[in-house]
Amino acid sequence: MLRDSRIQDLWSRLLRRRLSPGGTPVIRPEDYARWRASSLGATTDRLEGEALLAMAGDLRGQRVLDVGCGDGFLTIAMWQRGATVIGADLSAEMLAAGRHRAESHGAQIMWVRAAAKHLPFRSAEFDVVMGVTVLCFISDPQRAVREMARVLRPQGRLLLGELGEWSLWAIWRRLRGWFGVQRWRAAHFFTLSEMRQLTEGAGLRLRLVRGCIYYPPVGLAARALRWLDPVLSRFGATGAAFIAISADKPGDRLPEFSACRCDVNHSKN
């Protein structure tokens, strides 16, 4: 009886730790830091980032919006490649971590608190919009993609990176969800077909697809098999833990805007 009580108490504490006051999964900057400090996390983040940045192409002089920017890992990488970047996230804690990271890199980035489904920017304002592992944690991904498409200029590019449905990682994460990790219980894992439907539903044309992370979620496997990723990605996204896509917005390019207007308070470094 005492043991059962202790188990129930531990379970309750785990759930409280994983939930925000509104009942949604909470991911904190220290979670990212622990992940990247591990061999598995460092290898995986590097491969995913390289895939997305390769799809982004030449970013010099481009206006870029990073939706769900987290602690700014990719936001800063795009600034380092010559882009003018805005990082948007709903979490004030993540934005504070992004500002701190940007200061340590000398990066001039604007940080805006905003939800993916309600972006406080004019239509057709950005050359590139990126969203990485954002749709998997929100209730209406189609609305979010339409909002990203709205702020994208004609001939602009949307980059999305999401958790793949048919992979060993999805099985592992679902098991963790069943055993109390709320973020994975609430997460949605995407097929390539679903991602295609989301972009086409927002009026965009799918341009490029790349699967990443075909090794199992084990640090030794990541180090030993990471070289296989570029090879396996040529055969499609099945088996990939991460699916990256690039989609273009049709239409004639609009004239440059003189400045970005945001409808919420923001800050620069």
pLDDT in tens, 67-114: 999 999 999 999 999 999 999 999 999 999 999 999 999 999 999 999
Write the CA distances from 117 to 15, 61, 239, integer angstroms.
26, 26, 29
Domains located in the chain, CATH noted: 2-268 (3.40.50.150)
pLDDT on residue 38: 95
Give the Cα separation of 116 and 98 in Å (integer).
Answer: 17
Full-model pTM:
0.84
